[in-house]
Structure formats: C-alpha cells, structure tokens
Structure 1
C-alpha cells in the first residue's frame, strides 16, 4: 500500500470510529489520492485540490463543490501530521443548491389521487391497496419516499398507532405517532395484505403485487402515471407536482395550524423538525420563506408581539 493510500485508509477508519458514513467520501477520495500519486505530490496544495475538483470540465458546479468539500476534510486531517498541507477555504468553490418550487396539494387533489389509486388494476387487488396506503402515509406523516419503502412490518405498531423510522436520511431514527383514523386505515391494509400473503414474502410493511418490497422507482412511476391521469401533470409533462411535495404540504399544514391557533411557533419548531427528521431547525424554517401565507402570518406575529408560550 502506498503512503497516500495509508493516510487515506487511516482517515476513513477515524471517520467511521466517529460515527460518520464514509461510502460517498471513500469513492471520491480514493480517486483524489490516485491523482496525488500520479502528480507525484508529497503534500496537498490549493492548486492540486482545485485542479482535481474541477475535472472534467463538463461536471456541474454542484459536483465541484462536493468534491472539494471531501478534499477539505481529508486535508484538515492530514495537516495534523504534515504542516505543509494547504486546506482549501470553505468559500473557494461556493455553490448554493436551488430548491425546486414546492407544490401545495389541495385536499380535493389528494382525494382525487387516492380515488384514482384505488382503481389500479391487478390480479389480487393488492396493488391498489398498497398504493393507497403508501400515498396516504406520505400525505399524513410527511415522511420521505425512501423511508416509506424502507419501512418494515415490525416497525409499525398498530396497537399504539405509531411507526418507527430507523436510519432515516441522516442516519437518525424517530418515532411517528399516527392519527387513529390512519391507524384504522392501515389495519385494513394489513388485513388485505395478509389475506394475499399469509406467509410473508418480505419483511416490508408495504408490499408489491408479488409480495416483495416496493422500490422508490416503482412508487414514483405509479405516482407520475396517476398524476397525468387526473390532470395534475400534462400527458407528456416531465415536470410537475412531486411525491416530495406531500412532505411540504404536511409541514406547511402544521405551521399554518399553529399560527392560526396562536401557538408559539419558535418554541415548538424543534418538535416539527424532529418529526420530519431534519438535522437542523433551519431546514424547517425554510418552509416559512417558501410559503407566502406562512411568511405573512410570521410577519403579522412579529408586528403584534409574541404570545405566551404554551407547553406541549
């Protein structure tokens, strides 16, 4: 093993020991270390970091920033044993991702979508039942699509009407209480699922017509087809309302209700952040600026002065 690869492996071992995921950085940094060896470099410089991060030129600026960010952490580690190391400044290749404009589904649109979903044809009828449960869960919990398809049967407690998201987007687990009506709908789904598959073919809570786990691709494909069918998208439109917009609708709905009920939103925002699985409260604050009605309510609250804080 070469000297650079020894440093690289030691860095990854340290990150793993500290609880960080290393799958993404491992692939990027291995290529960077190969580049350093090809260049005959004995230490990391700004020039070497920039040259590698911006090659090939066809790569988008977002990828440049991601590559340089991986180098930055590695260089910071290396500087502890080699003071010649130059750590790329944080603003060297700045990039601010642009969020897609969210779509706020109306109650009527969700009802129309679920009605169309209930008409999906299949040999056993399970396909329609599964997708009604899937889209319904997305709408009433704000969970991510990846969390939905990754949900195992053992993580859904329909006695207590709650489900557990294990290892969500950022490796965080959380408990989601469900409304009694949601629990009742899911119990109906489980009865139909178990009727079709008395012997489970998969540990998954939501299963396909064949009894296996749903994939994100199949869920998105089904959603797009139904969206076109009910007019949410044009017949050939590649863009339109997304599954992720269910999450937006859920978060905005909670915040609107809090403002209208006089709840101290700042006090309770961490609760919503936890429910949504956000790492930072700032990710939840984004919904305020992205929704004109919420922003207006927030401004009115500031002008009127904060109400007394209420306890959960």
Structure 2
C-alpha cells in the first residue's frame, strides 16, 4: 500500500507516480483521485495485475452501472493509460474513444429572489459547531454576488482577498485562467466580518474559508451546509427532479445580469465579453448557455427580436 494516496492494487506505485506528474503540471483535481481510487479498489478486489483492455473496460463497465449524467471520469483512466504507455508500460491499454460520451448539462434550478432573501436570512442565523457558523453567509454571498464556481470559493486564499482594495483574485481556475473581481461595499462588509471572526478564533490561516481542521472546505461539506440552510429557511424542495445546489448562485448571477441589461435597454451583444471575462469563460459558448436558463429572459428576447431587425446576440461565438 502506498502512503500518499493509500492505493492497494498492483498499480499503486504507478498511480502515485501519475498523480505526482499531474500535480507538477498544475492539475490538483480531487475528482481524478476519487475515480482512480475506485479503479484501484476494483483491481484489488478482482486481483487485476495487467493494465490491459479487459481490466480497463471491465472497470468502465462496472462504473457505468452507477454513473449518472456526467462521464468525464472516463478521461482520467484514459489519461492514466497514456501516461503508463509513455513512462512505464509501453503495452498499457489506452481506453478507446468509442467510450467517449456526449456532455449533457444538468438543468439548473432557477432561484427566485424570495428564495435568495430567505436563504441568506437563514444563513446569518446558522448554528454550527464549526467555522461555518460565521462563514456560511460570507461563502454563499461571494458565490451569489460574484458568480463564482464552488471550487473557486473553496480554494480562495487569504492573500487573494484584498478587502482594503475591494477585490479578490481568482488564480489558476478552470483552464488555468485567472481574473480579478471587484467587490461591492456590502460584500466587503460581509467578508470583513467573516475574516475578523476567523482570525479571532483560528489565528493566521491560509484558506479564506476553512474547515474545523484549518484546511479548505470540501465540496461535500458545502453541499451539506447549503441544504441545511435551505431547510432551515423553510424553503420547499421541488418534485420535478431539479434540486437547488450551491452552483445555482452562479447561474443566477449570469441570467440576472442578462435580464437587467435587457430591461434597461443595454446592448447585450456589447456586454457579453465583459460577462464572459468576469465569469472566467474561455469562449462565449459557455456564457451564451446562460441565456437559455431563464424562461423570463427567453420570452422577452423573442418579443424583442420579433420587433427589431438587429440581432440582440451574436450569431457566432468569439475565442
């Protein structure tokens, strides 16, 4: 058994070597480790010792039996196979592209203003035996007001938060892109209160938002706290399959801006590059997706385009 990631299969040393290689390249994703641990456990359980087609595709088939919409995990085992082929095992099997599946976006839960108001009232009153007691409101306020990805809020460091200057720096996010985001006075006040309390209870810390052990908060914990606040706020849970998630604050940030610009008569074509840059999108395709998340926006958009000859949105995205 290797010490670093506690792999137990015949591929343990190579798995650790591969992950060390990825970290040197700047890839630290926890999801990769989770799925490679599953592969490792599968190989240990069945006694697999050769990285061949039967081993790799056998695990993929086993994993598909419990997978859901997203299948990006296939890229992890495919990439590991390439690494083995190049570095230690020239005969290692590389998962065929026939296993690639199309990406299906989860339909977001569209937060109403009433739900948002009630959520933050409950967040400010959260009782918890951890730093979440005072940092929950700040964490979700930042996601809501700046449209952050959950991972960006979780990985935010204290030296990336300039409360005096009124901005935060998102460093090396998705696609290794970085950006500086201005903060409103209200958000600065919320973050300042959180930071002051954290310093009083924990002293110097590196992550801005921390767990009880002083480390960055985990994705699972964020979801647990979000659901606890949602329930404490007395908010109903939908029955159509779509459930509210922390990431829906990012969706709300995007379409709320689009709807506000449309209502104010602002040229959305001109504003899309700013929204894309603020949200950290590589292309307009990702930003344009949010246009389709709001029924109110789409209905009004149809009325506008029916009466105007000029397109409100560009026909072609930009790099």
CA pair 70-296 structure 1, distance change in 2 beyond 3 A = farther
Query: Which of 164, 187, 191 does residue 186 from structure 1 map onto?
Result: 191
Name the SS for the 1:164 alignment partner. strand
| 2:174 aligned with 1:176 | no
Does the 8 Å CA contact 1:103/1:245 hold for their aligned counterparts? Answer: yes
Cα deviation per residue 1:85-131 (whole Å; 9 max; x = unaligned)?
Answer: xx9996x445333333222222222221222222223579x643211
Give the length in aligned residue pairs.
Answer: 292
Equivalent-residue separation in structure 2 for 1:187 and 1:69 (angstroms): 39
After superposition, residues 27-66 of structure 1 pair within 5 angstroms as: 54=61, 58=65, 60=67
Q: CA deviation at 1:163?
A: 0.2
Cα deviation per residue 1:260-287 (whole Å; 9 max; x = unaligned)?
Answer: 2222323321221222122332111111
Match of 1:157 in 2: 162
Name the SS for the 1:170 alignment partner. helix
Q: CA deviation at 1:68?
A: 7.2
Structure whose CA Rg is larger: 1
Match of 2:3 in 1: none
* TM-score of the aligned structures, taking structure 2 as reference length: 0.67
CA pair 12-180 structure 1, distance change in 2 beyond 3 A = closer
Equivalent-residue separation in structure 2 for 1:40 and 1:212 (angstroms): 35
CA pair 201-269 structure 1, distance change in 2 beyond 3 A = same
Tell me, which stretches of 5 or more residues in structure 2 are unaligned?
1-17, 41-48, 86-93, 315-319
Tell me, which stretches of 5 or more residues in structure 1 are unaligned?
1-10, 32-37, 79-86
| 2:286 aligned with 1:283 | yes
Equivalent-residue separation in structure 2 for 1:57 and 1:162 (angstroms): 43
Equivalent-residue separation in structure 1 for 2:148 and 2:287 (angstroms): 14
CA pair 211-201 structure 1, distance change in 2 beyond 3 A = farther
Q: CA deviation at 1:164?
A: 0.7
Query: Which of 122, 126, 135 does residue 140 from structure 2 map onto?
Result: 135
Does the 8 Å CA contact 2:69/2:104 hold for their aligned counterparts? Answer: no
Equivalent-residue separation in structure 2 for 1:68 and 1:13 (angstroms): 17
Q: CA deviation at 1:184?
A: 2.4
Q: CA deviation at 1:19?
A: 7.7
